[in-house]
């Protein structure tokens, strides 16, 4: 039983390890996040406005429910970093002159805070520092309010506000091209003429505060100061992205361990029922000596627990190891000052109880049979197995079968449930493998749709403020610009019934060549002259379909509130947005020909020159390069995915090996007599291997297409479960992924087949003839 126990142990280890890995990672990241938020006082509510006098702060503080409040000055700046020609942007945020911020405190990793008496010192965020290799003392240039200024880095910090840092309009994090700078309030106010004023507020609430009421009251107060709408933590970009990712992790922690526990229970069932069958006589003898059913049942339960224990110990150890590894991978993207790795005892207890319970349930039937047998009956050998002519033979194919093939067919049909479960087990291994490849396929597909089919521009240039359409001519005249199209972006709250979502509406040119909207069949659709087009995910969030009337509350300018019909839902895998015809959007805004930026097709030869021009153009606040977006998306996903693929492959192999090996061993122990008899009759080793391994081969071959099918549905479930605001996973599985899954399963089956074949070669022909069946 050594080999079989090993195979079961492998499966239990995989199951327990994934369970522990996922749950402990979710728990650790949640605990880390909560601790960081609490200790570094992450705000509950955020407000951006144009400019308000500091005296407004008291008024805001008087709003019932508001606990602590802090006003800040913030801006969006362009940077020039020597040796890095591409445009770099940063958010610059004030810190109080008397030292530590009250809210959204900084964790200083290196160096110190900026000196409030100096106007050229900044603290920068860690991702950004690492991306450029910055250390305290290093300098870079920045355009602050139209003026070049050289800043010295005094410290490298982390903030609960930017755990997952992403440029507001970007699709994925880009630590090289977007950073956060913290500067003393005095220096920053001076630079932006904000003395005695602020344009950003963060505040915390009392636990009993009613969020919606507070937000409404705050909005009313800041309205006349150009408020862009107060928003809660759940809409804060870093927090929102983080929550989405945590949710994905949580879902994964439900899917995969379940698969394993099922497989482990099944394997134990098969092994235990076989063990008990071979030990009928011992059981009978024990009962004859006066042991009762409970004693016997308990004896085998102990055996099951013993087998499981090894897997549990290994699984818990591996789970902690994998959990720390996965936590480490997440920490490269999520910036927490520390990772508090935590494994609640209750998680271990759950793993132990679930494993043992499922194993006992799996073996219960066999245990029950062992316990209930009257001793006299148990001491007799089992009656000869009953066989029938199989259905497949009755179809007429039977005539063409050789006797060995007939033996295979009849053995498979005689134990339909076991055969079925073996097939399911192998199919699940195949499906697990497909689910890991699926991530790669779907991301490749997603990137292709987003960055090849839908967004064809080389660069996106954003203006600091909405500008007259004429600004486009300035861009078109630049050397290397082949084509330019304008766009207008407006922050807005979209409401339908009781549901609402804060996002941006993108107004694009109706006959755009660069920004195409795709329907569910990936065909470009023309933008209707009026009405709004939503990404399908946003449609789902809001519960709207084409034809519904949406309430659009614009969050800038004159803040109009309008009813706009939804004209279509489009397929976009990244982001959650609304699209309108540029003219229609401007009409809605009651603004003239305003634009927020332009999409450009450029000559790569002129890239560096263009970057220099954009840095110098005061109106241009930022530039996004499409190829960077593609690369970043891959970079961020790649590591996590590689790890996941590794785990999934490990799991798939262990399941496939565990199931096939156990089936093979049990078949061998059940058939060794028959196979030895055939050897005596003159069958060669190869010929008897065919009978045993042919059966397994057949089961594997049936299991693989079934595995494809289950894999497809598993992926469909994962895709649906993992959909977040950041991205949706399209259900795309390449042929390559299916082939690889089949190959891994076949290889595992072959490996276990070879081990069993080795045993077949050493059958004791003489021994088997002396014993009765």
Residues near another protein, by CB under 8 A: 383-389, 402-404, 406-407, 410-411, 414, 673-674, 677-685, 687, 765-766, 768-773
**SS3 track for 352-409:** HHHHHHHHHHHHHHHHHHHHHCCHHHHHCCCCCCCCCCCHHHHCCHHHHCCHHHHHHH
> Which one, of 648, 740, 656, lies nearest residue 427 by Cα?
656
- Give the angle subtended at the CA of 80 by the CAs of 78 and 82, to the nearest 5°: 165
Contact between 624 and 176 (Cβ < 8 Å): no
Helices 237-278 and 345-372: crossing angle, nearest 10°?
20
Give min distance, CB of 701 to another protein, in A: 20
Give min distance, CB of 668 to another protein, in A: 16
Q: Looking at beta carbons only, is 220 or 278 nearer to another protein? A: 278
Give min distance, CB of 763 to another protein, in A: 11
Give min distance, CB of 757 to another protein, in A: 15
Give min distance, CB of 680 to another protein, in A: 6
Sign of the dihedral defined by the CA atoms of residues 33, 34, 35, 38, in that order: positive
Q: Looking at beta carbons only, is 142 or 409 nearer to another protein? A: 409
Q: Looking at beta carbons only, is 216 or 680 nearer to another protein? A: 680
Other beta carbons within 10 Å of 314: 17
> Phi/psi class of residue 357: alpha, beta or left (left: φ > 0; alpha: ψ in -120 to 50)?
alpha
Encoding tokens for residue 210?
């009613």
Contact between 26 and 246 (Cβ < 8 Å): yes
Q: Looking at beta carbons only, is 506 or 676 nearer to another protein? A: 676
Q: Looking at beta carbons only, is 147 or 770 nearer to another protein? A: 770
> Which one, of 83, 68, 197, 189, lies nearest residue 132 by Cα?
83
Give min distance, CB of 405 to another protein, in A: 11
Give min distance, CB of 19 to another protein, in A: 40
DSSP code at position 107: E
Measured in degrees and rounded to the nearest 5, phi and psi for residue 569 equal -110, 135
Q: Looking at beta carbons only, is 417 or 681 nearer to another protein? A: 681
Q: Looking at beta carbons only, is 196 or 383 nearer to another protein? A: 383
First-last CA distance in the chain: 20
Give min distance, CB of 678 to another protein, in A: 7
Contact between 434 and 648 (Cβ < 8 Å): no
Give min distance, CB of 674 to another protein, in A: 5
> Which one, of 31, 642, 717, 769, lies nearest residue 431 by Cα?
717
Give min distance, CB of 772 to another protein, in A: 5
Q: Looking at beta carbons only, is 209 or 768 nearer to another protein? A: 768
* Parallel, antiparallel or unpaired: strands 499-508 and 481-496: antiparallel
> Which one, of 48, 341, 400, lies nearest residue 198 by Cα?
48
Q: Looking at beta carbons only, is 371 or 409 nearer to another protein? A: 409
Give min distance, CB of 768 to another protein, in A: 8
Element (H, E) at 674: helix 626-680
Element (H, E) at 34: helix 2-39
Q: Looking at beta carbons only, is 409 or 427 nearer to another protein? A: 409
Q: Looking at beta carbons only, is 14 or 676 nearer to another protein? A: 676
Q: Looking at beta carbons only, is 382 or 519 nearer to another protein? A: 382
Q: Looking at beta carbons only, is 14 or 405 nearer to another protein? A: 405
> Which one, of 267, 446, 275, lies nearest residue 358 by Cα?
267
Q: How far apart are CA 231 and CA 237, in angstroms?
A: 11
Encoding tokens for residue 277?
């069958």
Measured in degrees and rounded to the nearest 5, phi and psi for residue 577 equal -145, 165
Q: How far apart are CA 485 and CA 490, in angstroms?
A: 17
Q: CA of 213: how far to CAs of 197, 201, 208, in Å?
A: 25, 17, 12
């Amino acid at each position: 039983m050594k080999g079989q126990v090993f195979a079961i142990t492998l499966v239990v280890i995989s199951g327990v390890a994934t369970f522990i890995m996922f749950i402990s990672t979710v728990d650790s990241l949640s605990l880390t996040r909560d601790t960081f938020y609490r200790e570094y006082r992450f705000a509950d509510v955020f407000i951006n406005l144009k400019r308000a006098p500091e005296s407004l702060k008291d008024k805001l503080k008087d709003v019932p429910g508001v606990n602590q409040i802090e006003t800040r000055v913030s801006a969006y700046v362009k940077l020039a970093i020597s040796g890095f020609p591409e445009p770099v942007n940063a958010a610059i945020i004030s810190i109080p002159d008397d030292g530590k911020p009250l809210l959204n405190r900084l964790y200083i990793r290196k160096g110190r805070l900026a000196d409030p008496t100096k106007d050229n010192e900044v603290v920068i965020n860690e991702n950004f520092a690492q991306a450029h290799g910055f250390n305290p003392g290093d300098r870079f240039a920045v355009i602050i309010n139209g003026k070049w200024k050289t800043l010295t880095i005094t410290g490298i910090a982390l903030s609960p506000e930017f755990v997952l840092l992403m440029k507001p309009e970007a699709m994925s994090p880009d630590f090289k091209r977007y950073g956060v700078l913290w500067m003393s309030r005095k220096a920053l106010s001076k630079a932006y003429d904000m003395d005695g004023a602020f344009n950003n507020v963060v505040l915390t609430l009392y636990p009993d505060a009613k969020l919606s009421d507070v937000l409404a009251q705050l909005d009313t107060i800041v309205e006349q100061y150009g408020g862009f709408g107060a928003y809660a933590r759940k809409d804060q970009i870093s927090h929102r992205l983080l929550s989405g990712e945590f949710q994905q992790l949580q879902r994964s922690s439900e899917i995969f361990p379940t698969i394993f526990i099922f497989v482990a229970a099944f394997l134990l069932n098969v092994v235990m029922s076989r063990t008990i069958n071979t030990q009928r006589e011992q059981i009978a003898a024990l009962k004859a000596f006066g042991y009762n059913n409970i004693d016997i049942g308990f004896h085998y339960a102990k055996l099951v627990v013993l087998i499981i224990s090894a897997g549990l110990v290994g699984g818990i150890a591996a789970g902690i190891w994998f959990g720390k590894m996965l936590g480490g991978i997440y920490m490269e993207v999520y910036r927490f000052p520390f990772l508090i790795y935590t494994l609640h005892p209750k998680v271990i207890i759950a793993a132990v109880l679930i494993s043992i319970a499922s194993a006992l349930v799996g073996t219960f039937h066999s245990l029950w049979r062992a316990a209930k047998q009257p001793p006299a009956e148990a001491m007799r050998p089992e009656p000869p197995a009953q066989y029938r002519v199989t259905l497949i033979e009755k179809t007429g194919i039977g005539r063409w079968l050789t006797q060995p093939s007939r033996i295979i067919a009849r053995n498979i049909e005689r134990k339909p449930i076991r055969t079925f479960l073996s097939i399911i087990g192998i199919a699940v291994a195949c499906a697990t493998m497909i689910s890991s490849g699926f991530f790669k396929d779907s991301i490749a597909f997603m990137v292709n749709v987003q960055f090849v089919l839908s967004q064809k521009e080389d660069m996106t240039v954003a203006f600091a403020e909405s500008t007259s359409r004429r600004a486009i001519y300035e861009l078109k005249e630049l050397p290397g610009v082949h084509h330019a199209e304008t766009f207008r972006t407006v922050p807005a709250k979209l409401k339908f019934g009781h549901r609402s979502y804060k996002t941006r509406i993108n107004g694009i040119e109706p006959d755009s060549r660069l920004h195409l909207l795709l329907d569910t069949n990936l065909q470009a659709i023309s933008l209707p002259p009026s009405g709004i087009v939503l990404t399908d995910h946003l449609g789902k969030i809001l519960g709207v379909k084409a034809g519904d009337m949406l309430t659009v509350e614009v969050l800038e300018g004159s803040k109009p509130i309008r009813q706009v019909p939804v004209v279509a839902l489009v397929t976009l895998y990244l982001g959650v947005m609304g699209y309108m015809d540029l003219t229609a959007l401007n009409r809605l805004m009651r603004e003239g020909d305003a634009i927020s930026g332009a999409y450009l097709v450029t000559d790569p030869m002129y890239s560096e020159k263009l970057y220099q021009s954009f840095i110098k153009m005061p109106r241009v606040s930022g530039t996004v390069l499409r190829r960077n977006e593609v690369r970043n998306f891959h970079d961020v996903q790649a590591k996590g995915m590689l790890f996941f693929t590794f785990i999934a492959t490990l799991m798939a192999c262990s399941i496939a090996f565990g199931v096939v090996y156990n089936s093979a061993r049990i078949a061998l122990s059940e058939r060794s007599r028959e196979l030895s008899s055939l050897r005596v009759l003159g069958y060669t080793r190869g010929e008897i291997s065919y009978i045993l391994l042919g059966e397994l081969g057949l089961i594997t071959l049936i299991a693989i297409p079934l595995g494809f099918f289950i894999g497809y549905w598993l992926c469909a479930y994962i895709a649906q479960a993992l959909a977040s605001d950041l991205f949706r996973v399209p259900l795309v599985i390449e042929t390559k992924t299916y082939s690889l899954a089949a190959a891994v399963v076949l290889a595992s089956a072959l490996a276990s087949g070879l081990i069993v074949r080795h045993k077949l070669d050493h059958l004791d022909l003489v021994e088997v003839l002396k014993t009765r069946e």
